[in-house]
Amino acid sequence: MFTILAACSSNDGKKNISDEELLTQYKKEYSELKVKITELEKQIKSSSNNEEKIKVRTSKLSPQKFEHFIGITGNVEADKNITINPETSGNIIKIPVYEGQNVRKNDTLAILNTEQIDRAISELQTNLSLSKTMFERQERLWNQKIGSEMEYLRAKTEKEALEQKLKALYAQKDLAIIKAPFNGIIDELYQKKGEMASPSIALAQLVNINKVYVEADISEIFLNNIKRGDSVEINFPAIGYNTNAKIARTSNVIDPANRTFKIRVNLTNKDLKIKPNLVSNLKLKDFESENSIVVPSILIKNDFDGNYIYLAVNQSNKLIAKKRYVKVDKTYNNKSLIVDGLEFGEKIISEGYAQVVNGSELNEIK
């Protein structure tokens, strides 16, 4: 072992050698190391022939299903989670609800002072009454071919204009009564009775979390692997809750800032445990392969030539260890998918593999 380490470190301090010369030197040392490794394996094999066979357990390769998952972080949102702002200005004279109260659609949340509007409505109603009287008189004269058409049209226009103004005032008065746009819970009240309300100041937070959704960003490299309808395992660590659902939607646009696309998972929140902005962990399957060669990742070793695994093969009426180089495609949950180098029916050494080298004689424990 000392000889090998000395060879690996023999070039320390060669600062003035060109890259090409250094590469040539490394290749030469690599070839020498391979020869020494082979000789050392032969020596171990020779010595093992005179000692007790290495006890191992084996596993026969059979078709297995391989699945690969990815984990991402998501955030809970609610479609019905809004901040309510008044549509008009006015002094708040009444707030008939309290924080935490369940309200129905169109329930009154606050009432603003409408005294000024009421005075304007009263004045306009008086003017409209007079205008209607004048119009009716001109209409009768016009029907009797006595009055002029201009006077009739002027009276009609004035009446209709006042009617429109009155209608606008009633609509403005309606805005002073702030109502709930949907069933929900008053999560927070931002203003109090006596304060001045305006469209620029939030009055209350109304939320309905009977139905929520989880939204998450996924790297664009998984664009072809993740689709609508795929199953998702969702964990909410803060509340110790797990559930399974399906992807309801995948976005059609890639975010140029972080090269991700969004997915949405809809959830029914019967117990109201899941709150907006709650962090969640999502587990999604991005790859699946049936009838594959799958081995425990711990059995795979590597050297200068790549990844390898030890097989147990019969040779000259002896069971020996044989090094076999393999190609690993994917690894997940301590299991590796092998796409080249192994065949179904072959035996891999599953226990005792750390004590064997290429050519070691084995004693298989059933």
Tell me the C-alpha distance between 81 and 269, whole Å.
Answer: 14
What does the pLDDT read at residue 47? Answer: 59
Tell me the C-alpha distance between 75 and 54, whole Å.
Answer: 54
Residue 23: inside a domain, yes or no? Answer: yes
Query: In the predicted model, what is the mean pLDDT of residues 299-309?
Result: 92
Tell me the C-alpha distance between 91 and 113, whole Å.
Answer: 5
Give me the number of domains the chain comprises: 2
Exposure b/e, 50-67, CB count within 10 A at least 16 = b: eeeebebebeebeeeebb
Domain boundary among 149, 175, 201: 175
| 6: Cα within 13 Å, side-chain hemisphere | 4
Give percent of the chain above pLDDT 70.
93
**φ/ψ (deg, to 5) at 175:** -65, -20
Tell me the C-alpha distance between 322 and 362, whole Å.
Answer: 11
Residue 9: inside a domain, yes or no? Answer: yes
Tell me the C-alpha distance between 285 and 263, whole Å.
Answer: 14
pLDDT-based confidence at 282, cuts 50/70/90?
very high
For residue range 125-177, list pLDDT tens digits in order.
Answer: 888 888 888 888 888 887 777 777 788 888 888 888 988 988 888 888 888 89
Tell me the C-alpha distance between 120 and 194, whole Å.
Answer: 22
Chain centroid to CA 294 = 29
Coil, strand or helix at 56: strand
pLDDT-based confidence at 46, cuts 50/70/90?
low
CA dihedral 264, 268, 273, 276 (to 10 degrees): 40
pLDDT-based confidence at 16, cuts 50/70/90?
low
Tell me the C-alpha distance between 343 and 291, whole Å.
Answer: 12
Residue 3: inside a domain, yes or no? Answer: yes
What does the pLDDT read at residue 1? Answer: 39
pTM for this model (two decimals) = 0.64
pLDDT-based confidence at 221, cuts 50/70/90?
very high
3-state helix, strand, coil in the chain (%, to 5): 30, 40, 30
Residue 340: inside a domain, yes or no? Answer: no
Position 12 pLDDT exceeds 90 = no
Residue 90: inside a domain, yes or no? Answer: no
Residue 30: inside a domain, yes or no? Answer: yes
Query: In the predicted model, what is the mean pLDDT of residues 7-24?
Result: 62
Domain boundary among 159, 175, 191: 175
Q: Which domain holds residue 171?
A: 114-175
CB 348 within 8 A of CB 321: no
Average pLDDT across the chain, whole number: 87
Which amino acid, residue 155?
A
Query: In the predicted model, what is the mean pLDDT of residues 112-122?
Result: 86
Position 309 pLDDT exceeds 80 = yes
Position 13 pLDDT exceeds 60 = no
CB 34 within 8 A of CB 341: no
Bridge partner residues of 303 (DSSP) = 306
Query: In the predicted model, what is the mean pLDDT of residues 17-23?
Result: 80
Tell me the C-alpha distance between 328 and 297, whole Å.
Answer: 10
Q: 101 Cβ partners below 8 Å, 6+ apart?
A: 185, 186
Tokens for 124? 């306009």
Query: In the predicted model, what is the mean pLDDT of residues 207-220?
Result: 94
DSSP string, 251-297: -SS-BTTTTEEEEEEEEE-TT----TT-EEEEEEEEEEEEEEEEEEG
- What is the 8-class DSSP label of residue 346? P
Domain boundary among 175, 193, 215: 175
